[in-house]
Structure 1
Amino acid sequence: MTTTWGVAETAGRIAAGELTAVQAVEACLDAIDSRNPELNAFSVVLADRARAEAATRDDAAAPLGPLHGVPIAIKEENDVEGCVTTFGGKANTTPAAADSEVVRRLRAAGAVIVGKTSMPEFGAWPYTEPRSLGPARNPWDPAHTPGGSSGGTAVAVASGMVPTGIGGDGGGSIRIPASYCGLFGLKPQRGRVSTAPNPHLWWALGVIGPLTRSVLDSALVYDVIRGSHDGDRFHAAETGSFVEAASREPGRLRIGWTVKPTSKGVRPHPLHVQAVEDTARLLTELGHDVRQVDAGLPDPAAAFVPQFFAGIRTEADAVEHYERLEPSIRQAYRLGFWVRPRVIEWALRQTERVSAKANRVFDEYDVLLTPVTANRPPKVGVLEGANALTAALRSTPAIAYTALWNVTGNPAAAVPCGLGPDGLPLSVQLVGRLDDEPTLLSLSAQLEAARPWPLVSGARGTTGDA
């Protein structure tokens, strides 16, 4: 096996008898041994357990499901039975008694869990630099951050350590590291994927999903993990198969584009403006009706900020050793003293108002095209010495285009569009109507076919003009 194989190819080769699950896992463990010491993606490597789990897959009388034998990494905020759920820190010490619902569904589909991946504590920042583990590093240039908060997952996938990994997105935390690391990262519709055993992740903000090297790989994983649970606070409307959506032409779409961020005082990097403009031209060539728009998108801060503080306070209240939390997290906890239950309910009402205003753009357009982030991937150490307030300020350029869609709940995807002259990936964001992941998958797959992107860091392919 080569670690450039993604989910579909790995599963297909195992199903065809060309590869065993044990061989797939061993290849990933070899890649982790080779690349993780430099890149620091994994917080825990479950080598022996993964080998044993893979052996049971090979011994099975029939494939368990579409991910039979596929090695997968799990972000630290998700429970894996027998592992401490650290949330990127040292404040918990007791192993989880059971898998989270997402991990349970992955195993039921035949996947093999090879380890857990690094994140900033509680996923509070869009850069993966936890004090407990040290910074994760971008595989395209280890001097730079991979982003966050699903930074460890992004590094593991982009470097070829695993075919895919599970991340989470509460303000851009799938899309930001996907864009910095050259991956496809779809933030699903709120309520699409169960957050059990938690009823929600940071109230209306947080969702769970994979980071992958291809659109089809993402669709395959989503068709396994999607679906809500009775205990979930949010439930998405039913859609058809994501794999089918990723495999069909999107038809002629009305696509609006803008490079105006929702955060005041933020300017997009010229390379990101160029990437959007180049993608708009390509979409026009592909037959879509593409127009620059003044979308009038609202600033989501009034809804986002209370839920951010409430999320940190809720998770901090639940850890076993509060005193072991990082200083910036303890400070954020104190700063959020005002976020009482009434404030949270007020913030959720603001969420509805922000969503109604933002979704007016879809009265005229099927998809909105924007940058993913305003900034290029910063150098490692962007959070060094930062307290909660300075960390928030340094995070603003990264979330200036993404956080709005966590507030509204709309699906949104980071789609690679090659490499910049600095050797780091470029990406654009596609935002869809509520509950319309299928259109984003179809359109993203069309872009992927027209402008293929490098699959693994160091594997230079056709990168497009951006």
Structure 2
Amino acid sequence: MTDLSVTDLPRAGVAETVRLTTTGERTVRAVVDAALARIQAHDGGLNAVSQLRADRARSDADRLDAARAAGEAPGPLHGVPVVIKEELAVEGLVTTFGGEGNSTPAAADAEVVRRLRAAGAVVVATTTMPEFGAWPFTESASRGYTRNPWDRTRTPGGSSGGTAAAVASGMVPVGMGGDGGGSIRIPSAACGLFGLKPQRGRVTSAPADQLWWALGTAGPLARSVLDSALVYDVVRGHTEVDRWRAGGTDPFAAAARREPGRLRIGWSTKPVTRGVRPDPVHVQAVQDTARLLSDLGHDVREVDPHYPDPTLAFVPQFFGGIRDEADAVEHFSRLERRTRETYRLGSWVTPRVLDRALAATEKVAAKANRVFDHVDVLLTPAVAHRPAPVGVLDGKGTVRSALAAMPAIAYAALWNVAGNPAASLPCGPAADGLPVGVQLVGRTDDEPTLLSLSAQVEAARPWPLLAPGYAG
């Protein structure tokens, strides 16, 4: 048995890592040591990791190796090193939400983290985020700038930017993020990853009953469609505390391995947010992807989605989510100035206002889903603008930060309100050297079609698995 070297790690995604550890070609300890070595080698230039869990990760790896040697059946993620966005509780680490508001380590894992560990994954670190995930740029007074592995002068997007940077640089094969307005899809697009926001209620928010009310969900950021599907098959499923519950039982990994059949695909570059104009690079990416899909045999046509305005549903839930999380921290006074301003500006979000916002959510969802009377999948840009230079939030309060965020969420946030599954699919790098992503949106509860279609595109147009300079 030989050990997995640091230079081997980037070539092993989730599926390959599980193959190596379950066949005995590599020990879990060797895989975890290699991940920790890459974090040490690369995180200094990226600032993706918030809290490193090196000793516990090695102990977990040794336990998994001993169990396998004793004849225990390995789990579906046996030996896969993972990172966790720091809004999800990891036992023994502080759940920071990207700031200094908490100081006591969590007594237990969040349910999705527990499921990952039960499946054999090894948590090696938590990852950076803007405080409470409020912005699509991974910057905060506490954590500083997190940088894009493709160009360290640029943002990796957010709010799951630390996870995106860790996966795109090969520190780990996969990591957990969260999406309340695009926060899985935006950093996936910026860093060249596959990121699926699942159907509302697909992934448990336990021990909480909801994440940003109807907007938020947890999910993985991965280098391949199959890797994402394998993780989703572990973490999916509600608990009795969850407020929302998705339908459908089709295994995601099976969907990622099968052909999608001939689909009706509508494409549009029209943004949901008025006044935002998409970068020509993103318009071209949608048009190129539409041609590729047509060449693959699909019925592809330009459509007008007739988007509803999600503002009355989205904004109260955004402010309500921030206020709920801020109220729950141990040290409110330690929150950054911009967060405390956001908290004050959201004081109008009473329980009655939230009830009206949730009622508006249902109306927006009904209108947004009318496009699926005519198509099976909607193709759009993932974001409007190219990844911005780091420092986007410097000197900005809540209002100016929200205006800066508009191009990032212009295509994404509607589908948090509507609840539909939506994925950012890599298109490869553009002329500026940075990745481009397009968004695929599916019908309610129809992640399997998105996964099958995304895997077909991945096979026809492979994308780089790692940012340049991180392959060794």
**3-state SS of 2:9 partner:** coil
Find the counterpart in structure 2 of residue 228 from structure 1. 238
Tell me by how many angstroms 1:239 deviates: 2.4
Residue type at the aligned position of 2:445: D
Deviation by residue 1:155-198 (Cα, 9 ceiling, x = unmatched): 00000000100000000000000000000000000000000011
Find the counterpart in structure 1 of residue 48 from structure 2. 41
Residue 190 of structure 2 contacts residue 435 of structure 2 at CA under 8 Å; is this kept in 1? yes
Distance 2:106 2:248 in 1: 31
Find the counterpart in structure 1 of residue 394 from structure 2. 384
Aligned partner (choices 78, 94, 97) of residue 84 of structure 1: 94
Residue type at the aligned position of 2:166: A
**3-state SS of 2:163 partner:** helix
Distance 1:438 1:136 in 2: 32
Find the counterpart in structure 2 of residue 65 from structure 1. 75
Find the counterpart in structure 1 of residue 339 from structure 2. 329
Find the counterpart in structure 2 of residue 11 from structure 1. 18
- RMSD across aligned C-alpha pairs, in angstroms? 1.0
Structure 1 position 112 matched with structure 2 position 122: yes
Aligned partner (choices 207, 219, 222) of residue 229 of structure 2: 219
Tell me by how many angstroms 1:3 deviates: 2.1
Q: Which runs of 5+ in 2 are unaligned?
A: none
Find the counterpart in structure 1 of residue 467 from structure 2. 457
Deviation by residue 1:263-287 (Cα, 9 ceiling, x = unmatched): 1110000000000000000000000
Deviation by residue 1:81-129 (Cα, 9 ceiling, x = unmatched): 0111000000101111100000000010011000100000000000000
Distance 2:146 2:308 in 1: 33
Q: Which runs of 5+ in 1 are unaligned?
A: 462-466
Residue 454 of structure 1 contacts residue 460 of structure 1 at CA under 8 Å; is this kept in 2? no
Tell me by how many angstroms 1:131 deviates: 1.2
Distance 1:223 1:336 in 2: 36
Residue type at the aligned position of 2:271: P
**3-state SS of 1:386 partner:** coil
Instruction: Give the share of equivalent positions with the same residue, in percent.
Output: 66
Structure 1 position 279 matched with structure 2 position 277: no
Tell me by how many angstroms 1:460 deviates: 10
Distance 1:288 1:459 in 2: 36
**3-state SS of 1:235 partner:** coil
Structure 1 position 412 matched with structure 2 position 418: no
Find the counterpart in structure 2 of residue 103 from structure 1. 113
**3-state SS of 1:249 partner:** coil
Find the counterpart in structure 2 of residue 21 from structure 1. 28
Residue 25 of structure 1 contacts residue 71 of structure 1 at CA under 8 Å; is this kept in 2? yes
Tell me by how many angstroms 1:298 deviates: 1.2
Distance 1:392 1:43 in 2: 25
Q: For this pair of structures, how many residues does the alignment match?
A: 461
**3-state SS of 1:427 partner:** strand
**3-state SS of 1:374 partner:** coil
- Give the TM-score taking structure 2 as reference length: 0.97
- Give the TM-score taking structure 1 as reference length: 0.98
Residue 169 of structure 2 contacts residue 470 of structure 2 at CA under 8 Å; is this kept in 1? no
Aligned partner (choices 261, 267, 277) of residue 251 of structure 1: 261
Residue 285 of structure 2 contacts residue 438 of structure 2 at CA under 8 Å; is this kept in 1? yes
**3-state SS of 2:414 partner:** helix
Residue 419 of structure 1 contacts residue 425 of structure 1 at CA under 8 Å; is this kept in 2? yes
Residue type at the aligned position of 2:378: L
Structure 1 position 162 matched with structure 2 position 172: yes
Structure 1 position 123 matched with structure 2 position 133: yes
Runs of 4+ in 1 over 6 A off after TM superposition: none
**3-state SS of 2:145 partner:** coil
